[in-house]
Structure 1
Amino acid sequence: MRTFSALALFGAALVLAAVEVSAAGAQEDETVKPVFQHAIPNIPGKNLVAVVVSYPPGGKSVPHRHAKSAFIYAYVLTGAIRSVVGNEPAKVYQAGESFHEEPGAHHRVGENASATEPATLLAVFIVDAVDEPLTIPD
């Protein structure tokens, strides 16, 4: 009976370890939180949409494009973000710096430049009201 209990306890520990590793892996991706969406009254058919993108240490986005009509202004709130848009060279943007993405641009790299500190980014979209989804992974 003692052997069975020890094996059951060992098995439970293995399951918990696997769950923790899986959860840790899931935290490597960014989280996107919508914070604002409104029609632009003097530009019929256009919306202004804002999201906060949070990256844990070492976190990254998958390569992606945005809605075809979307012009994006990105402002780094905290930490440092490494970005590659289109054929531009990689650049690291620090808190307080910004960049933009033209409609149809390919965002090849979006990631936290730090392996130890989190980073956040405010992304503001000007987009056709009917153009969804806002982000299309490769």
Structure 2
Amino acid sequence: MRKLALTALAITGFFITSVKAQQHDDVTKTPPQVVLTKLLNTASLKNQEVKMVLVTFEPGEVSPGHRHPIPTFAYVIEGEFESTFDGKVYHYKAGDAFYEEPNKLHGSTKNLSKTKPVKLLAVFIGDKGKPFIAPE
């Protein structure tokens, strides 16, 4: 799994030069901003799409339940938050990275600060055109 995470981060780093901003209505007050979408057609990744998404949780914000239909890799850029995923509570802070399996319930995410936002970069890899988030 660590090799897959490193591969995903290497792929996204390679394609960062073609950054493209888009917005989607989702589960946070500040809509997640897609900063890169790239279709992959290599021998091992046929018709797979990589999306890099900047996610911001406002101070004290708590997101409602949702699922990610495709694998999720994330890196915390700033802040500290609590995440309930697949029934377990996790704590993340700036500099942490994590992986979430597809379709498991992301019960909630809570920004633990009342004054500072949380920002994370999420990387999704899945079939072309498949959404990266589905409200519960």
Whether these two folds match at TM > 0.5 is yes
Identity %: 33
Tell me if structure 1 keeps the 8 A contact 2:78–2:120: yes
Distance 2:90 2:102 in 1: 20
Tell me if structure 1 keeps the 8 A contact 2:49–2:129: no
Tell me if structure 2 keeps the 8 A contact 1:84–1:91: yes
Change (3 A) 1:32 1:130: closer
What runs of 5+ residues in structure 1 fail to find an aligned partner?
1-27
Question: Which residue of 41, 64, 68 corresponds with 2:66?
Answer: 64
Tell me if structure 2 keeps the 8 A contact 1:29–1:60: no
> For residue 128 of structure 1, what is the aligned residue in structure 2?
127
Structure richer in helix, relative to its length: 1
Distance 1:58 1:31 in 2: 16
* C-alpha RMSD over aligned residues: 1.5
1:57 CA drift (Å): 0.5
What runs of 5+ residues in structure 2 fail to find an aligned partner?
1-27
1:30 CA drift (Å): 4.0
Distance 2:113 2:37 in 1: 30
1:93 CA drift (Å): 0.4
> For residue 11 of structure 1, what is the aligned residue in structure 2?
none
1:19-38 correspondence runs (5 A) = 29-38=29-38
The two structures have a TM-score, normalised by structure 2, of 0.73
Structure richer in strand, relative to its length: 2
> For residue 14 of structure 1, what is the aligned residue in structure 2?
none
Tell me if structure 2 keeps the 8 A contact 1:30–1:61: no
Give the number of equivalent residue pairs.
107
Distance 1:44 1:107 in 2: 28
Which structure has the larger Rg? 1
Distance 1:39 1:114 in 2: 36
